[in-house]
Amino acid sequence: MQVTKVGLDLAKNIFQMHGITEDGTVAFNKSLRRSQLLDFFKNLEPCLIGMEAYGSSHHWARQFQKLGHKVRLMLAMYVKAYVKRGKSDAIDAEAICEAVTRPTMRFVAIKTEEQQGVLFLHRARDMVVRQRTQLSNMLRGLLGEFGIVIAQGVGRAVKFAKAVLDGDLPSIPDVAIDALTNLCNQMVALHLRILWYDKRILLEGRRDRQVMLLRTIPGVGPVTAAAIVATAGDGHQFRNGREIAAWLGLTPLNRSSAGNERLGRISKMGDRYVRRLLVAGMTARLRHMKDNPDRVDPWAMSLRERKSPRVATVAMANKTARIIWAVLTRNERYQPHTA
């Protein structure tokens, strides 16, 4: 009998598969090595393949699609509900096979190689930014023991490091001077590397129409726009703007019961990197309101007056996520409402 559904539990070398026929009969439940995987699916009639969305799932999804199979990716947290008992590769593969056909299951869009290439840039940039932050904190901590204070902000730390390399040395022991010079060299090198990543992301974004459309939205810069397009694609996997906001973890948690509606803090689910970029962009926009109040829409201004700064930035990020969905799905520039 022909296999109609396959649940594939991904791994590094050993892959577990669970296949069933149209009437629900288990056709196989076995494991294969990485070198045997593609050959097995080449000899299999086109069917539905379910996988958890992590690791190399997008790569394997593209390979299986080339062979004529239909592939669906799911979050592991949604598959967990279909695990009957225990924990093994065979049980996980069976749960994936069961979850992939559920009508209410939410699926992850398969990324192209170009999207993953852009995300490669973003992940590398994010790592270097964290390293620069760690290094600036270390400089402040070590110099604080000698009574030397560096002003807040990464830019001030980079400026101090450049001054040290230009010969403006603080009055600390010579052995500390040698270590300080080494750290300052590293600080400046990391800063230059981040600038290189920013320019490369900007260059790649100029070639993408969707990135340029997102940049017309207030508070969405080239890095944020490129990250959203590389992660969410054209946005058609979301039914409305609220779904993309919930996907980014910007909607409140719902803990309602017995007819009492209780909404708590934001869920913080989904892509942490994109959410952080959006909130950072809205924070910069909130600061810009103080200097140019005449260029701000009335909704954002009233929100700033009624709410605390952090609550206001998250609320603005929520609304911006919905605007992003509209811009992506309609494939047109952002046009603000005029009074």
**Rounded distance between C-alpha atoms, residue 328 and residue 131, angstroms:** 33
**Rounded distance between C-alpha atoms, residue 51 and residue 48, angstroms:** 10
Q: Nearest to residue 56, comparing CAs of 37, 30, 41, 82?
A: 37
Q: CA separation (Å) from 266 to 189, 238, 330?
A: 37, 19, 27
Q: What is the pLDDT of residue 145?
A: 93
State the SS3 of 139-198: HHHHHHCCCCCCCCCHHHHHHHHHHHHCCCCCCCCHHHHHHHHHHHHHHHHHHHHHHHHH
Residue 51 zone, left/alpha/beta (φ > 0; ψ -120 to 50; rest): beta
Residues 80, 1: contact at Cβ < 8 Å? no
Q: What is the pLDDT of residue 1?
A: 67
**Rounded distance between C-alpha atoms, residue 273 and residue 275, angstroms:** 5
Q: What is the pLDDT of residue 285?
A: 87
Q: Which three-class secondary structure state does DSSP give residue 236?
A: coil
> What average pLDDT does this structure show over 251-259?
80
Residues 50, 97: contact at Cβ < 8 Å? yes
Residues 78, 100: contact at Cβ < 8 Å? no
pLDDT in tens, 282-299: 998 888 877 777 667 788
pLDDT in tens, 302-328: 888 888 888 889 999 999 999 999 999
Q: What is the pLDDT of residue 327?
A: 95
Answer yes or no: is pLDDT of 263 > 80: no
Q: What is the pLDDT of residue 310?
A: 87
Task: Locate 70 and state its tokens.
Answer: 């239909």
CATH architecture of 3-108: 2-Layer Sandwich (3.30)
Question: How is the chain split into domains, by residue range?
Answer: 3-108, 114-206, 209-330
Strand partners, 51: 8, 73
Residues 73, 51: contact at Cβ < 8 Å? yes
The whole-angstrom distance between residue 252's C-alpha and the CA centroid of its chain comes to: 19
**Rounded distance between C-alpha atoms, residue 286 and residue 313, angstroms:** 7
**Rounded distance between C-alpha atoms, residue 120 and residue 8, angstroms:** 25
Q: What is the pLDDT of residue 337?
A: 65
Angle, nearest 10°, between helix axes 222-232 and 113-144?
130
DSSP state of 85: S
Q: What is the pLDDT of residue 339?
A: 44
DSSP for 203-229, please give it: HHHHT-HHHHHHTTSTT--HHHHHHHH
Q: What is the pLDDT of residue 35?
A: 93
**Rounded distance between C-alpha atoms, residue 220 and residue 280, angstroms:** 9
Answer yes or no: is pLDDT of 36 > 90: yes
Who contacts 175 (Cβ-Cβ below 8 Å, separation ≥6)?
none
